[in-house]
Chain A
Amino acid sequence: MALNKIITVRGKAVPVAGADMDTDRIIPARFLKCVTFDELAGTMFYDERFNADGSSKGHPIDAPQHAGATIILGGENFGCGSSREHAPQAIKRSGIQAVVAESFAEIFFGNASGIGMPCVCATHTAMQTALRITADAPQTEWTLDLKSMTLSCPMATLPVTMPAEPREALMQGRWDAVVELMNAPEAVESLSAKLPAPALS
């Protein structure tokens, strides 16, 4: 499977403030009633953005100055809660290409990596700098560079981190693992023969 190598993400940033931004806030469960991911665009952070009558709550995502943003700036434990891949799918399908946050919940991180949406961590201080620049100058064009592991703009260059393995996978265009997982069928079968499967007895 030829996948694109994901090395840089460029574009404007949008803040999604707060620690423990859970997947129910990223995509409320009622939007999970589907058998495809095709209609998830626009559902991201729905109840954070809209009142019950559909009127805007004035979330930064819907502010004109952040229109077309490609990078989310988040807090600690971003994506905590459910394993629903609908969460990163909704974000990606809404035009976001990367999330920069103080930390990520494991399952969300894995899901995002597996669909080619890098999630990188930055320190609290670095996040504060990025948030301040984005607040002062929302049109700022950022570059997330996985090679140098920086989030930069003309005003600042901020270090970011990511475990080596998913970073390699993204940069080499191997982020969808299924092809490589099919490369060792004999080893898988020999293990399967040794490890009992639950069976009615």
Chain B
Amino acid sequence: MGKTLYKKVWEAHTVGTLPDGRTQLFIATHFVHEVTSPQAFAMLRELKLPVLHPERTFATVDHIIPTDNQAEPLADPRAQTMLNALRENTAAAGIRMFDLPTGYQGIVHSIGPELGITQPGMTIVCGDSHTATHGAVGSIAMGIGTTQVRDVLATQTLAMLPLKVRNVRVEGTLRPGVTAKDVALYIIGKLGADGGLGYAYEFGGSAIENMEMDGRFTLCNLAIEGAARCGYVNPDEKTFAYLKGRPYAPKGEAWEAAVERWKSFASDADAEYDDVVIFNAEDIEPTVTWGISPDMSIGINGCIPAPEDAADNETRKARITALEYMKLQAGQPIKGLPVDVVFIGSCTNGRISDFRAVAPLLKGRKVAAGITALAVPGSQMTAMQCEAEGIADIFREAGFEWRLAGCSMCLAMNPDKLKGDQICASTSNRNFKGRQGSPTGRTLLMSPLMAAAAAVTGTVADPREVFASTNL
């Protein structure tokens, strides 16, 4: 029997076994940001330990950074304190920080791949659950806590137990208007928000093989919303083409050698999986969430499910809680539901492909009256590319607020927040209670195409109908 990529990368990075039985796993690449690292640096100082391999850690500021005015001092003194702490901690340790003036600042999960720091066959960690994103190039990438950030800084290793591997296959051709986001929401809806507990998800099948890299990032990003701590796609020609020429990608002869090495990490054809699940690409509709967990989703033409139709008592109770919080009725069609805010951005859908897909749809159209629409590029690099390609101007012309790079309204640690019980059509990753900054705010997760449809109609809408004149 052959091996999975997960097993190969795990074995290649195993230092040994700890007395309690856990594996000591070497971490090839570590990212830090301002929210989950200051305590770790403080712990190091307390233990009088240096950063062992500063060249393997990369820093940026993303969560707290305002997307309208980044002039310092920032309006929120606590945000400034966190930014200063990251600067001081990384400078003292000799860690490269992609700070605001560098042109490389952005959401950590955007800039890692864009800079080519994220490479196949690596173990990659960050104090951030959406680190799973980096698995799209064929790495073991996972979120860790702050104490573990300290462990990586001090030892470049972690005490870990291996996950099981579930092969999640999507076979066939995605229908027009169906994106990686819809695929991810569909899979989470089918397997459950806790379906991936104990598993890494290896995404495969013809629909994934045909998916461009930015879509794969979206898919792996959302693995954690299905409880899979890591998601990954085997590295292939699309992966190598994506990485080639990026600042941190190997060059020349080293490139050829790296590609050969990366290929060797791909799962063997006869790899043994702990579980296999197969979905049919044609079954996937543009998908939207209606509740307070990412698995509470329906197709755009669906109706909000009734608690009494739930398969079990826990689901019934969860639906009651969700309907109450969302102020929605069971049986109500989701299409046509008015929204207040549209947010296109985040580590899930703030990449160049997302803005490129939406721009032609917005051309000649306007954001509906009364709707606040935010477009927040994931990184300064993406922002500059959007300016260069005229994309930013199309968004502005349509009535979007074109913002500076950051996490923004995905988790609202900066000034971008919902007010009261506003409903947000959001391309982000979590619809948890209060997630977008108001304790009563309501989030509908969807693809950038559906968010664009929501922006121009002011309601939840089917992008295939709203943009019928455009090829989706």
Contact = CB atoms under 8 A, between A and B. Distances in A.
Q: Do A and B bind each other?
A: yes
Interface of A: 18-20, 22, 24-25, 28-30, 32-37, 47-48, 52, 75-77, 80-86, 88, 103-107, 110-111, 114-115, 124, 163-166, 168-169, 172, 174, 176-178, 180-182, 184, 187-188, 191-192, 195-201
B82 A35 contact: yes
A197 B295 CA distance: 37
24 contacts: A18-B321, A20-B293, A29-B412, A33-B413, A36-B38, A36-B42, A77-B227, A82-B128, A85-B39, A105-B197, A105-B227, A114-B147, A165-B22, A166-B20, A177-B151, A178-B151, A181-B151, A187-B15, A188-B155, A188-B156, A188-B157, A197-B53, A197-B56, A198-B119
B20 A184 contact: no
A83 B411 contact: no
A191 B435 CA distance: 40
A46 to B, nearest CB: 9
B259 interface: no
B194 interface: yes
B248 interface: yes
A32 to B, nearest CB: 5
A20 B321 CA distance: 12
Contact of A178 (B47, B53, B82, B194): B47
Nearest to A168: B20
B12 interface: yes
Interface stretch (B28-36, B171-179, B276-284, B456-464): B28-36
B401 to A, nearest CB: 21
B42 A35 contact: yes
A103 B197 contact: yes
Contact of A33 (B19, B78, B119, B147): B78
Given A107-B229, A198-B119, A33 B18 contact: no
A106 B198 contact: yes
Given A105-B197, A181-B158, A36 B148 contact: no
7 nearest A-B pairs in the assembled complex, by CB-CB distance = A111-B145, A77-B194, A83-B143, A85-B145, A35-B38, A177-B159, A85-B146
A107 B144 contact: yes
Given A33-B413, A199-B248, A181 B55 contact: no
A172 B22 CA distance: 14
Contacts of B270: none
Interface in B67-91: 76, 78-79, 81-82, 85
Interface in B184-206: 193-194, 197-198
Given A80-B227, A106-B197, A164-B21, A184 B413 contact: no
Interface stretch (B326-334, B356-364, B426-434): B426-434
A103 B161 contact: no
A88 B194 CA distance: 19
Interface string B430-459: 101111010110000000000000000000
A22 B116 contact: no
A88 to B, nearest CB: 8
Contact of B39 (A35, A105, A164): A35
Interface string B103-115: 0000000000000
Given A22-B432, A37-B39, A168-B21, A82 B129 contact: yes
B380 to A, nearest CB: 17
Interface string B339-364: 00000000000000000000000000
Contacts of B154: 178, 181-182
Nearest to A35: B38
B260 interface: no
Given A80-B194, A110-B145, A25 B78 contact: no
A19 B227 contact: no
A7 to B, nearest CB: 15
A108 to B, nearest CB: 8
B251 interface: yes
Contact of B24 (A83, A174, A184): A184
Contacts of A106: 163, 197-198, 227, 229
A76 B145 contact: no
B60 to A, nearest CB: 14
B150 interface: yes
B156 A192 contact: yes
B413 A19 contact: no
Nearest to B440: A52
A75 B312 CA distance: 14
Given A75-B314, A178-B151, A29 B413 contact: yes
Contacts of B439: 28, 47, 52
Contacts of B29: 197-198
A81 B129 contact: yes
B35 A85 contact: no
Contact of A47 (B26, B56, B122, B433): B433
A36 B39 contact: yes
Contacts of B307: none
A176 B411 CA distance: 30
A85 B126 CA distance: 12
A123 to B, nearest CB: 13
Nearest to B29: A198
A44 to B, nearest CB: 14
A76 B79 contact: no
